[in-house]
Structure 1
Amino acid sequence: MAGKIRLEDRECPLSAALGVVGEWWTLLILHDAFDGYTRFDQFQENLRISSSILTSRLKTLTANGLLERRRYQSQPDRYEYLLTDRGRSLRPVVVALAAWGNSQLRPEQRSMILIDRETGAEVEPVVVDRASGRPLDPENFVFAAGPAASETMRARYAGVTSRPPG
């Protein structure tokens, strides 16, 4: 199913997405890929992950279109794993998750922070609506049944209505 998350009988998009990236090694491998790691030995050394687990996760990431496997050497064959556009689109999710993790720590306990490349100033990411620029807080933004929702999903969100601003 090229270009699509395999739903595996899951109607909820959160459940479907977690089926692809919910295993914690997967997110750590993606984080390393965002930092420029591409080769098996780089991932293995940095993450201290067993070769069998890493092999399995790289196959899953490749099968789901998040990484592309390319040969960079023959005899013996060696491959690198490059982020695809689909893989790069997960960066804001990983950044937001890391920021949430940091928010649970005192500043002196943080081993990694997000900074502005130009100024070096630490930044605090927020998730916003693209159209309005407003933070996606629960007072203003809620989930509702979509066009493909089952009766169960429609029942879950039956009480959700839009309200006029102000």
Structure 2
Amino acid sequence: MVKRLSMSDAECPVARALDAIGDWWSLLIVRDAFDGVRRFSEFQKGLGIAKGILSGRLRHLVAVGVLDQAPASDASAYGEYVLTEKGHSLFLVIVALRQWGETNLYAPGEQHSTLVEADGLTPVPPIELRSSAGQKLDPRDTRVSKVGQSLKRQCVP
């Protein structure tokens, strides 16, 4: 088995984010946590994931501060996993992946789950990236300022 390369020291924020939560099991665990899943057995049953893999992913998500372990809310002997503030900040990532999947991975008219507002009726509108002036941005409207490069050199006059 090939050992996974750590990107935890990378200069690129995308690489560091993928190092922390980039495998698909971790993202599905976070998705389920947003849906109210809190117990190991609930994650295991809902995802159909092997217990050893789930245990490792949960341990990792706790270690990187996405989840925290808490006493059971029903005072039973079982612990629960709860999203931390860092975990809650992944909401837009999960929604963006959902919306990308809805747009690109379903045939027209094919049924799928839908994210709706709390009223249960209103679909959540597509996420849009906006400039500081409020204009919609696409990849042509942005640049990455790499470590060691001056922002002035990268800006178009």
Task: State how far apart, in whole Å, the 2-side matches of 1:83 and 1:125 are.
Answer: 24
**1:3 counterpart residue number:** none
Contact 2:8 2:15 in 1 (8 A): no
Task: State how far apart, in whole Å, the 2-side matches of 1:43 and 1:64 are.
Answer: 19
- What's the secondary structure of 1:109's corresponding residue? coil
- What's the secondary structure of 1:139's corresponding residue? helix
Unaligned runs of 5+ in 2: 1-5
Task: State how far apart, in whole Å, the 2-side matches of 1:119 and 1:58 are.
Answer: 30
Unaligned runs of 5+ in 1: 1-5
- What's the secondary structure of 2:139's corresponding residue? coil
**2:123 counterpart residue number:** 122
- What's the secondary structure of 1:103's corresponding residue? helix
Task: State how far apart, in whole Å, the 2-side matches of 1:52 and 1:64 are.
Answer: 19
Extract structure 1 runs of 4+ deviating beyond 6 A: none
Task: State how far apart, in whole Å, the 1-side matches of 2:7 and 2:126 are.
Answer: 29
**1:144 counterpart residue number:** 145
Q: Deviations over 1:32-54 (max 9, x none)?
A: 00001100111011000110010
Task: State how far apart, in whole Å, the 2-side matches of 1:102 and 1:81 are.
Answer: 28
Contact 1:21 1:27 in 2 (8 A): yes
Residues 117, 107 of structure 1: CA spacing in aligned structure 2 closer, same or farther, 3 A cutoff? farther
Q: Percent identity?
A: 36
Q: Does 2:91 correspond to 1:99?
A: no
Q: What is the Cα deviation at residue 7 of structure 1?
A: 5.5
Task: State how far apart, in whole Å, the 1-side matches of 2:67 and 2:131 are.
Answer: 26
Q: How many residues align?
A: 149
With the length of structure 1 as denominator, give the TM-score of the two structures. Answer: 0.78
Q: Does 2:47 correspond to 1:47?
A: yes
Task: State how far apart, in whole Å, the 2-side matches of 1:120 and 1:107 are.
Answer: 21
CA RMSD of aligned residues (A): 2.5
Shifted more, 96-105 versus 119-128: the winner is: 119-128
Letter in 2 for 1:124: P
Q: Does 2:154 correspond to 1:160?
A: yes
- What's the secondary structure of 2:25's corresponding residue? helix
Task: State how far apart, in whole Å, the 2-side matches of 1:119 and 1:47 are.
Answer: 24
Q: Does 2:23 correspond to 1:23?
A: yes
Contact 1:96 1:127 in 2 (8 A): no
Shifted more, 131-140 versus 25-34: the winner is: 131-140
